[in-house]
Chains A and B, each alone.
Chain A
Amino acid sequence: MGPNLYANYVEAIAMILFGIGFFTLLLRNNLIKKIIGLNIMDTAIYLFLASKAYIPGRVAPIIVDGVQDVEKYINPIPSGLVLTGIVVSVSVSALMLSITIRLYKRYHTLNLDEISAKLKKEGL
């Protein structure tokens, strides 16, 4: 293990969350749980970025009374990335949810394997 694990504990937590989300999205049969996993994964990435930007004693990059000093504000880029990422994940989860609704209305189950089994039974 490298030197900075303790210093970067927030990122470490973010990574663990990412793993959990990945696991859930990959393995859970239940579609809703999959979507939750997706959101956990994305949130972990936002946590990572946000913590990357944070430096103690500096404030959010909104210029107050005209002071434009690098020492005073944090790096604005990660915040921007987080904004973009949030929008993307919102749209993706909406799409996933709508697919889930369709599948549920058709097969009355949320379990992906059962859905495939029923499909194969239909022989469609």
Chain B
Amino acid sequence: MNQSFMIIITVFFPVIYGAVMLLAPCFKTRSSLIKATAAGLAVTAVFAVLSIFGGGSFELLKLGENLKLYFRIDNLGKMFAAVVSIVWLLAGYFSFEYMKHEKEEKRYFGFYVMVYGILMALCFAGNLVTFYVFYELMTLTTFPLVLHSRTREAVMAGLKYLFYSLCGAYMVLFGIYFLNRYAATLDFTAGGSLDMGLAAGNEGILLTVAFLMILGFGVKAGMFPMHAWLPTAHPVAPAPASAVLSGLIVKMGVLGIVRAIYYVIGTDFIHGTWVQTAWLVLSLITVFMGSMLAYREKVMKKRLAYSTVSQASYILFGLALLEPQAMTGSLLHVVFHAMIKSCLFLSAGAIIYKTGKTNVDDLTGIGKEMPVTIWCYTFASLALIGIPPASGFISKWYLATGSLESGIPYFSWIGPVILLISALLTAGYLLPITIKGFLPGKEYDYGSLKKAEPVKTMLIPLTVLAGLSVILGVFPNPLTGYIADIIGTLF
């Protein structure tokens, strides 16, 4: 059927388009390059929308018996695809201006278009093998984005990113080998497809496998102990790249965990086992540690990176509770955090682009120089802290109530406490920039003040993202409803 064929177009058109952009000798002038990129992104977005509304499934080819590349669109995939498309397009639009002060834009944009298709493939993946294949490809294609400015630090950071991801990927692969034997099918079926007849007697192995997969995907989601690539990779990458890195690539790790645990292994299997406990412990540690480190950090993008580490673990915590309320909270937080964090990174990028200041302490009075940017930043940070009615509040509310209802001993109340503390810390490390920025104090001489507001190309994405992050909080009901019927199939 045609709309299922649309999936393949959505996935492979941008990949081929990007490859052509990379290899083709044309695009001498910058404008032609921008036009080409914009066209590619736009067309892909159209395809994406078509296939989201089309639904359906498509089997590409078989690697071995019951190892096939297979795409299927379900509600979860649709949600992720929508989020990815929005943020990706906005960040791309932002980078049209931002990349002016970087070299080799051609390579950047080529890979940028490519990765879009691969993320689509990840959202639409129909079984674990497909997901793994495109997960690896995502690592490889985002690698050039990270080490874009090929200074020594950038290359080292890129290698670090590469090897952390590869280690994670091999843990996942290890798991896939076993699931291929013990699961009835690797296709994503809500509620898990573990063959209990085979699994009987091998619970030990299978629990280890589940834990390995959590760890492996957790590498991308920046879960302790494999989080260290985030704060290294973000400061060196160009701002739009780091925006999508922590906005979306991290979410792909989350998507992987959801797929593996909720759709293949099954929640009942690890409910109340040591795996769940370990998972809860790790995620809570990460939440707390991330906020602490962010609070201590002085370089702005690093600070944001640490905050990503902690926020992503909110999501993981919610997933680890294996409980509908918390799951709702997590999925909400996926959406919100994607918007918010990319907005924050983009504003950081705007600041760097205009003033070249990277350190937090230099930002006194920045609010006077570029008010719109800082207002967007402020709204986003309020949303992230979870001040009602901004969006972060909703998701955290769901998380807290979920964990209280889950009735897991200790964690049911330790969780909310840590979330609260971390929220306070979030306020502590995000707001000072706003405060210092707008109220620089007496000794700030207004004489040297000059307007440094960036051009519209940068402002529009910022405002849109900031607006979304607030509005989604004010009118959350459609989203919650949508998520509710995703959850309904799972529990």
**Do chains A and B make direct contact within the complex (CB under 8 angstroms)?**
no
Q: B-side interface residues toward A, CB under 8 Å?
A: none
Residues of A whose CB lies within 8 Å of any CB of B are none
